[in-house]
Structure 1
Amino acid sequence: MRGQPSGASARPGHDPARADGPDLAHHGDAEVGEGLVDLAVNVRRAPMPQWLAAPIAASLTDLARYPDPAPARAAVAARHGRTPDEVLLTAGAAEGFVLLAQALRGVRRPVVVHPQFTEPEAALRAAGHAVDRVLLDPHDDFHLDPARVPDDADLVVVGNPTNPTSVLHPADTLAALARPGRVLVVDEAFADTTLAPGHPGEPQSLAARRDLPGLLVIRSLTKTWGLAGLRVGYLLGEADLLARLAAVQPLWAVSTPALAAAAACATPAAVEAERAIAAQLAADRDHLVARLADLPGVRVVGPPSSAFVLIHRPGAAALRAALRERGWAVRRGDTFPGLGTDWLRIAVRDRATTDAFIRILGEILEA
């Protein structure tokens, strides 16, 4: 079965947000306002640990020199069992999508698997690519069947775990999409939030896979460590492919403080801390899901696996507006292709925040 076409070809200068469809330029931070409790943005808000804050602060004394990415690149490569030329540091994961769109202008049929983070498609369209979409089925909890991706797709983009659905696709399912002549982009911005019983690392991650042709993994350091304002992420893949992307990257794109953060977050101690955070997140997420299950007409896409959950309820758009009036911001779903106005994304927070939110949500539903 072939993927569902997007229905509109992109042209140079064409609005990447697509006036004829969902607003791809909309992001969760637009939902947040003064006085609102933020359940719309998936960035962890805990205080920065000293082992991360110290090198970032120390780097501020060395800003007269141009940034040197070599130490951070080596540290990230060591974390994932790769060589430094298989790592490209970026100003946030979002820059990686822009580099892809600019460097791979020769692709004939780019396909984006939706619902997912909208920035990849927006970047492709802004660069003049005509993008096809594969829309996963909400009645099947957005299960990914590799056979649904067109055989002639030479660029495929998929999230794992996927934003906004919180679905974690099996690694074997994603690996089945790799083939010679195709670039397979797996957005693992939230991979460090995932956990599985008996699994010491990140279940279903392809970050260390060097045997899959055309694989490009995109990672972010902004979510777990609260570094959205610093802009730091990285790409993992074949050296030749990364060299093509690096050729269109601006000089010194990643700042010295961001490089210090990247090196610090790649240490064994940092990875161990990530695993502990993921375990606490899983417990808090289970609490949120259990509380949502008590509410009438609310369906949680499951099982969720990341720092957010996706819910369906008829009239969710009005529900979101009512929540704002009561002081709570959640993420609208209708800007994601494949969803609509009956969907909301809710960030996982501590149990006290969740309980307060559920109380307000329950009152609104009763009314």
Structure 2
Amino acid sequence: MPAPLTSDHGTRSAADGFDLRHHGDAEVLGADAALTDLAVNVREGTPPAWLKARIAASLDGLAGYPDGRAARLAVADRHGLPVERVLLTAGAAEAFVLLARALPVRRPLVVHPQFTEPEAALRDAGHRVERLVLEERDGFRLRAERVPEDADLVVVGNPTNPTSVLHPAAELAALARPGRTLVVDEAFMDAVPGERESLAGRTDLPGLVVLRSLTKTWGLAGLRIGYVLGAPETIAALERAQPLWPVSTPALTAAEACCAEPALAEAARAAGTIADDRAHLVARLAEFERIRVCGPAAGPFLLIRLEGADLVRERLRGHGFAVRRGDTFPGLGPEWLRLAVRDPATTDRFIAALEKVLDTV
């Protein structure tokens, strides 16, 4: 039997026992000792020196109000779109709040397991949220026919956090229709070689909204910069819901810089490296019969399942590693962990620590 749709009105921080506001940074903030961070999906060694220099140079303009025109044009050019189809935001997370507050929504549906902020934002705006919970036995893959016809807002990640599943573009496109807003969160798409299965440049799908983040690949989580791609009328509605000057001058500078051709080439190289490093991590995890890796994975992280994962996570901290718990994602439980992909040397150190922990659990 397919997993049922569920509906709950919940509180700001939790719903059905899931802490929707728990994120990977909680695993490392306030730690008593320095931990190797496998909990947060930000690329290592970022931001690069050239980007830090560009951002630092922008500080001379802080006396003036932010002017987003150049950055907006850069994003539009990067995706081959007119500027009226682009909205710059303080990270992709802000876009979820704008969507929840600005659009007239009757039956919102969030596809889980996935990043929990979309549901949290919808709940905060007073919406009753339905969940379509994908199943492990199906590889956490979405089938368009499972989405109710009258769902007028559908939110799905691609590749999905935390499962690392990359849904076919055709499957997602099949969800688009007049009267529905289809939100595809592509925060990690630039970590996929060739950005295959992206819908970012599409203008032929009614109601399509694509979200992008620049914080993951470029190490800008503390700067807060992302953007929304959608129909001009949708972009205008979201923009009206934004406060004045929502994106800072340094963040606008970063957006413009990260959309330039040299940056896109660097991101493409990084995506290839991530794919190689992920393959190494998968191979090393295969050494443990107790561990099941969700795959094939496409993002810069892996979802794994093992008995006693909650205790394993705690004991890994004693060996210097922070990993992301999975039980805050609807559709998952305490037997799941998410691991960020790191370089082979870090992975090998982690595997050695994991082997020691598993011997005690």
What range describes the TM-score normalised by the shorter chain of this pair? over 0.9
> In structure 1, what is the equivalent of residue 125 of structure 2?
127
Give 1:19 shift. 4.9
2:14 maps to which of 18, 25, 48: 18
1:330 partner letter: V
Give 1:296 shift. 2.2
For 1:48 and 1:123, locate their aligned partners in 2 and report how far apart those are by CA, in whole Å. 28
Give 1:8 shift. 2.0
Deviation above 4 Å: which 4+ runs of structure 1? Answer: none
Give 1:2 shift. 8.8
- Is 1:55 aligned with 2:62? no
- Is 1:291 aligned with 2:284? yes
1:324 maps to which of 304, 317, 326: 317
Alignment check: 8 A CA contact 1:216 1:238 kept = yes
Identify which range, 320-329 or 298-307, moves more after superposition: 320-329
- Is 1:351 aligned with 2:344? yes
For 1:54 and 1:73, locate their aligned partners in 2 and report how far apart those are by CA, in whole Å. 21
Indicate the SS of the match to 1:242: helix
Which consecutive unaligned segments of at least 5 residues does structure 2 have? none
For 1:115 and 1:66, locate their aligned partners in 2 and report how far apart those are by CA, in whole Å. 39
Give 1:85 shift. 0.6
For 2:318 and 2:126, locate their aligned partners in 1 and report how far apart those are by CA, in whole Å. 40
CA distances 1:36-81 after superposition (whole Å, capped 9, x unpaired)? 1110000113143343223211110001110000000000000000
Identify which range, 172-181 or 45-54, moves more after superposition: 45-54
CA distances 1:115-153 after superposition (whole Å, capped 9, x unpaired)? 000000000000000000000011121011001111110
For 2:348 and 2:138, locate their aligned partners in 1 and report how far apart those are by CA, in whole Å. 29
Aligned pairs for 1:80-119 (under 5 A) are 80-104=79-103, 106-119=104-117
Alignment check: 8 A CA contact 1:109 1:152 kept = yes
Alignment check: 8 A CA contact 1:160 1:188 kept = yes
Indicate the SS of the match to 1:253: coil
Alignment check: 8 A CA contact 2:14 2:21 kept = no
> In structure 1, what is the equivalent of residue 4 of structure 2?
4
Indicate the SS of the match to 1:216: strand
> In structure 1, what is the equivalent of residue 234 of structure 2?
241
- Is 1:361 aligned with 2:349? no
1:257 maps to which of 235, 250, 258: 250
For 2:233 and 2:139, locate their aligned partners in 1 and report how far apart those are by CA, in whole Å. 36
For 1:31 and 1:115, locate their aligned partners in 2 and report how far apart those are by CA, in whole Å. 19
Indicate the SS of the match to 1:223: helix
Sort the Cα spacing of 1:19 and 1:191 in 2 relative to 1 into closer, same or farther, 3 A. closer
Sort the Cα spacing of 1:47 and 1:94 in 2 relative to 1 into closer, same or farther, 3 A. closer
Alignment check: 8 A CA contact 1:77 1:83 kept = yes
Indicate the SS of the match to 1:38: strand
Give 1:3 shift. 7.5
1:102 partner letter: R
For 1:240 and 1:64, locate their aligned partners in 2 and report how far apart those are by CA, in whole Å. 32
Sort the Cα spacing of 1:87 and 1:3 in 2 relative to 1 into closer, same or farther, 3 A. farther
Q: Percent identity?
A: 62
For 2:235 and 2:60, locate their aligned partners in 1 and report how far apart those are by CA, in whole Å. 31
1:309 maps to which of 291, 294, 302: 302
> In structure 2, what is the equivalent of residue 198 of structure 1?
none
- Is 1:158 aligned with 2:156? yes
For 2:44 and 2:264, locate their aligned partners in 1 and report how far apart those are by CA, in whole Å. 18
Which consecutive unaligned segments of at least 5 residues does structure 1 have? 196-200
For 1:130 and 1:5, locate their aligned partners in 2 and report how far apart those are by CA, in whole Å. 13
CA distances 1:75-104 after superposition (whole Å, capped 9, x unpaired)? 000000000110000000000000001101
For 1:60 and 1:282, locate their aligned partners in 2 and report how far apart those are by CA, in whole Å. 35
For 1:321 and 1:46, locate their aligned partners in 2 and report how far apart those are by CA, in whole Å. 26
Alignment check: 8 A CA contact 2:24 2:39 kept = yes
- Is 1:337 aligned with 2:330? yes
TM-score, normalising length from structure 1?
A: 0.95
Indicate the SS of the match to 1:95: helix
